[in-house]
């Protein structure tokens, strides 16, 4: 059974991390397993810690992930929101809107 989701579905940071991992893993498989993406997946793969949690293999990943999450969430609290993922042409948003 699939849970209905939309762009405004709430997730925890852990769930967001796992969604990102699943997407990257699927993309990696679909584009012929390029080394660069394989290395990234290795660095962000989770392993058990002594405290009973799970953390990325590369110890620098998790603090960097949390810093990015903090920056995005802070931007989303402002009226203009986070714009880092927006498509821009000559530093401007396109005038054409996608209909789905």
Residue 1 inside a domain? The answer is no
Q: With b meaning 16 or more CB within 10 Å and e meaning fewer, what string describes 40-57?
A: bbeebebeeeeeeeeebe
> How many domains does the structure of the chain reveal?
1
Which of 52 and 1 is assigned the larger pLDDT?
52
Placement of tokens 């579905």 in the chain: 9
pTM: 0.82
> If we measure between CA atoms, which residue out of 13, 12, 15, 34 comes closest to residue 25?
34
Look over the chain and give the mean of its residue pLDDT values, rounded to a whole number. Answer: 92
> If we measure between CA atoms, which residue out of 62, 83, 58 comes closest to residue 13?
62
For residue 20, the enclosing domain spans: 13-76
pLDDT band of residue 90 (cuts 50, 70, 90) is confident
Residue 93 inside a domain? The answer is no
Task: Give the pLDDT confidence of 42-69 residue by residue, as tens digits.
Answer: 999 999 989 898 999 999 998 999 999 9
Helices vs strands, H then E, count in the chain: 3, 2
């Amino acid at each position: 059974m699939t849970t209905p989701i939309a762009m405004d579905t709430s997730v925890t940071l852990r769930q967001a991390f796992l969604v990102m991992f699943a997407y990257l893993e699927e993309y990696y498989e679909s584009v012929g397993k390029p080394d660069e993406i394989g290395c990234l997946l290795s660095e962000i793969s989770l392993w058990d810690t002594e405290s009973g949690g799970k953390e990325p293999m590369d110890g620098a990943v998790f603090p960097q992930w949390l810093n990015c999450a903090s920056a995005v969430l802070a931007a989303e609290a402002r009226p203009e929101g986070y714009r880092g993922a927006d498509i821009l042409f000559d530093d401007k948003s396109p005038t054409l809107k996608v209909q789905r």
